[in-house]
Amino acid sequence: MSKPKNAFEIFRFLDKSNCGQCGEKTCLAFAGAVFLGQQRIRECPKLSPEILERFGEEPDATGSREPSPEDRLEKLKSEITLIDLAKAAERVGAICSGRKLTLKVLGKDFSVYEKGNLTTEIHINPWVAAPFLSYILYGQGLPASGKWVPYRELRGGRDGYPLFQKRCEEPMKKVADVYTSLFDDIVHVFGGKQVDKQFESDISVVLHPLPKVPVMICYWLPEDGMDSSLHIFFDETADRNLDIGSVFTLGTGLAQMFTKISLRHGFDART
> Quick one: 17 or 81, whose CB is closer to ligand SF4?
17
Least Cβ distance, residue 44 to ligand SF4 (angstroms): 3
The reply on whether position 148 binds ligand SF4 by CB under 6 A is no
The reply on whether position 46 binds ligand SF4 by CB under 6 A is yes
The site for ligand SF4, by CB under 6 A, has a size of 13
Segment holding 22, helix H or strand E: none
Q: Residue 128 in contact with residue 209, Cβ under 8 Å?
A: yes
Least Cβ distance, residue 41 to ligand SF4 (angstroms): 9
Q: Which of 10, 24, 94, 214 binds ligand SF4 (CB under 6 A)?
A: 24
At CB < 8 A and 24+ separation, what contacts does 24-27 make?
25/270, 25/271
Contact mark string toward ligand SF4, 177..206, x via CB under 6 A: ------------------------------
The reply on whether position 166 binds ligand SF4 by CB under 6 A is no
Spatial distance between the Cα atoms of 198 and 108, rounded to a whole number of angstroms: 26
Least Cβ distance, residue 45 to ligand SF4 (angstroms): 6
> Quick one: 12 or 265, whose CB is closer to ligand SF4?
12
Least Cβ distance, residue 56 to ligand SF4 (angstroms): 18
Q: Residue 121 in contact with residue 128, Cβ under 8 Å?
A: no
The reply on whether position 111 binds ligand SF4 by CB under 6 A is no
DSSP 8-state assignment for residue 224 = T
Piece of the chain touching ligand SF4 by CB under 6 A; list 17-25, 134-142, 152-160, 183-191: 17-25
Spatial distance between the Cα atoms of 84 and 123, rounded to a whole number of angstroms: 26
Q: For 70-114, what is the HEC assignment?
A: HHHHHHHHHHHCCCCHHHHHHHHCCEEECCEEEEEECCEEEEEEC
Least Cβ distance, residue 232 to ligand SF4 (angstroms): 22
For residue 56, give the 3-state DSSP assignment.
coil
The reply on whether position 135 binds ligand SF4 by CB under 6 A is no
Piece of the chain touching ligand SF4 by CB under 6 A; list 20-28, 153-161, 174-182, 226-234: 20-28
Q: What share of the chain is helix, strand, coil (3-state, %, to 5)?
A: 40, 20, 40
Q: Residue 134 in contact with residue 197, Cβ under 8 Å?
A: no
Least Cβ distance, residue 255 to ligand SF4 (angstroms): 14
The reply on whether position 30 binds ligand SF4 by CB under 6 A is yes
Strands 193-194 and 148-150: unpaired
- Kindly list the residues in this chain that would bind ligand SF4 in the complex (CB under 6 A): 14-15, 17-22, 24, 27, 30, 44, 46
